[in-house]
């Protein structure tokens, strides 16, 4: 069992370190010493008077992400282990969260593939409350990661709403290379849908590299819990906007059938799985927070999403717009001399993206490292490639028993998941 604490008090953090009862102590403050970077305070005062339970959710999500990143897994592939976390978090309503701690633990465990226990203690009140900012209503709030799916969702949302309506776009990034991609998408939407009102909120909130004592944190690269923080921030913004939160992801990727026996557990992410999204929404309603969220594209493949964008704005505009996004799973290509923000072309995200362009009939203008004429990135590409596992996966196909292992929510019919997965596999077949 690994014990961790997230506190908002320097005094509490110092005492916890002296007592030595926690394996890691995280401190989140507005000013002064802090474990986290990003310029947002633990009360979300910069957003206005956010529902306190949504503020609590951001703290919980940040503690989960910090824990996930700080504790190394023992192995890789099929030997990846499930870790045991005991996390103490300071929140505004400890009793409320304690009554739903088991529900939260199951949900986070499903997301990360680990075992979680949560303990809640009372957070200090903010010295300054959020400003009662008026006239913040927007018709919709949309998560915008910088990937092709979120960009498609943001564009289709804008087209559906039309001129004289507005949407809030919420971004979170750890790699600074993604920030300009997100900003470029927002500008492109304004050109595609003249008259649409947009507010773009970018968050750069993440755990720093050093502990409070100056030593370096360990960094686990398999992080699967980042989406919880992204969703928590999105829900906080949506609450202030008085709107539902859209998380746009193609349904095939959301179900994410594992490529093989060694791609289960934490290697098969549940970032936008329908069960996870429904459980998060229910949890927030149960604790009295804002939890209205949906994935309006959960019944579509990526290619079908791309086709909708082409139908809405035209093939040429869709090609330019979607090609400007970044779906690559790897941000470390720069260490091999590649330009910042490059796409490898051979990871799962890139391969599904390439297949979607073909399936939709939208030209792909993306530059992939695998196609670089000099071959200078060949070693990096070989290291990252999952082309062979993908070829085996497509050859095997999706079977009914695969669907039964997808942990579908009660309102999601197995036959619908099977049909969607089979369409997703057919899109991938063009690459194999």
Structure tokens at 345: 């072309």
Q: Output the pLDDT for position 298.
A: 97
The set of residues, in sequence order, having a beta carbon less than 8 Å from that of 212 and lying 6+ positions away, is: 13, 17, 25, 27, 33, 35
Backbone angles phi, psi at 31, to 5 degrees: -130, 165
Could you read off the pLDDT of 7-16 as tens digits, one per residue? 999 999 999 9
pLDDT band at 259 (very low <50, low <70, confident <90, very high): confident
Instruction: Judge whether residue 83 has pLDDT over 80.
Output: yes
Instruction: Judge whether residue 58 has pLDDT over 90.
Output: yes
Could you read off the pLDDT of 150-179 as tens digits, one per residue? 999 999 999 999 999 999 999 998 878 889
Q: Output the pLDDT for position 224.
A: 84
Q: Output the pLDDT for position 135.
A: 54
Structure tokens at 24: 């890691």
Other C-beta atoms within 10 Å of 259: how many? 20
- What is the mean pLDDT of the segment spanning 105-130? 90
pLDDT band at 264 (very low <50, low <70, confident <90, very high): very low
Q: Output the pLDDT for position 175.
A: 76
Could you read off the pLDDT of 327-364 as tens digits, one per residue? 998 877 777 778 877 899 999 899 999 999 999 999 99
- Highest mean pLDDT: which range of 129-143, 208-222, 289-303: 289-303
Domains and CATH numbers, the chain: 2-122 (no CATH), 140-294 (3.40.50.620), 326-431 (no CATH)
pLDDT band at 133 (very low <50, low <70, confident <90, very high): low
Which residues in 281-336 belong to E strands, given as ranges? 293-294
Instruction: Judge whether residue 265 has pLDDT over 60.
Output: no
Could you read off the pLDDT of 179-199 as tens digits, one per residue? 999 999 999 999 999 999 999
- What is the mean pLDDT of the segment spanning 137-158? 97
Q: How far is CA 421 from CA 41, 356, 418, in A?
A: 41, 14, 5
27: helix, strand or coil: strand
Which residue has better confidence, 359 or 74?
359
Q: Output the pLDDT for position 132.
A: 55
């Amino acid at each position: 069992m690994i014990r961790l604490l997230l506190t908002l008090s320097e005094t509490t953090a110092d005492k916890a370190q002296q007592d030595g009862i926690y394996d890691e102590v995280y401190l989140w403050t507005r000013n002064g010493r802090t474990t986290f970077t990003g310029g947002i305070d633990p009360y979300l005062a910069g957003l206005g008077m956010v529902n306190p339970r949504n503020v609590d959710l951001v703290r919980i999500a940040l503690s989960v992400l910090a824990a996930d990143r700080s504790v190394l897994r023992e192995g890789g592939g099929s030997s990846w282990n499930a870790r045991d976390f005991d996390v103490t978090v300071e929140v505004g309503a400890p009793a409320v969260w304690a009554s739903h701690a088991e529900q939260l633990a199951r949900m986070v465990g499903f997301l990360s593939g680990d075992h979680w226990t949560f303990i809640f203690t009372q957070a200090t009140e903010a010295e300054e409350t959020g400003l009662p900012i008026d006239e913040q209503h927007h018709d919709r709030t949309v998560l915008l990661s910088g990937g092709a799916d979120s960009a498609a969702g943001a564009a289709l949302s804008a087209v559906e709403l039309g001129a004289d309506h507005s949407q809030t776009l919420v971004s979170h990034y750890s790699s600074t290379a993604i920030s300009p991609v997100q900003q470029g998408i927002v500008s492109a939407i304004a050109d595609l849908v003249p008259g649409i009102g947009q507010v773009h909120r970018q968050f750069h909130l993440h755990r720093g590299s050093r502990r409070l004592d100056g030593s370096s944190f360990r960094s686990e690269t398999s992080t699967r819990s980042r989406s919880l923080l992204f969703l928590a921030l999105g829900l906080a913004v949506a609450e202030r906007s008085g709107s539902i939160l859209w998380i746009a992801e193609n349904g095939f990727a959301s179900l994410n059938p594992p490529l093989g026996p060694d791609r289960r557990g934490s290697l098969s992410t549940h970032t936008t799985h329908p069960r996870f999204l429904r459980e998060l929404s229910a949890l927030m309603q149960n604790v009295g927070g804002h939890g209205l969220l949906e994935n309006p594209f959960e019944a579509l493949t990526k290619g079908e999403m791309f086709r909708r964008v082409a139908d809405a704005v035209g093939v040429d505009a869709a090609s330019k717009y979607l090609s400007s996004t970044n779906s690559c799973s790897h941000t470390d290509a720069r260490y091999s001399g590649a330009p910042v923000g490059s796409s490898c072309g051979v990871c799962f995200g890139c391969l599904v993206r390439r297949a979607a362009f073909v399936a939709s009939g939208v030209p792909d203008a993306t530059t992939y490292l695998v196609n670089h004429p000099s071959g200078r990135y060949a070693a990096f590409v070989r290291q990252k490639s999952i082309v062979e596992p993908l070829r085996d996966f497509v050859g095997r196909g999706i079977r009914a028993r695969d669907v039964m292992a997808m942990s579908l929510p009660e309102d999601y019919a197995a036959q619908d998941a099977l049909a969607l997965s089979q369409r997703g596999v057919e899109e991938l077949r063009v690459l194999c």
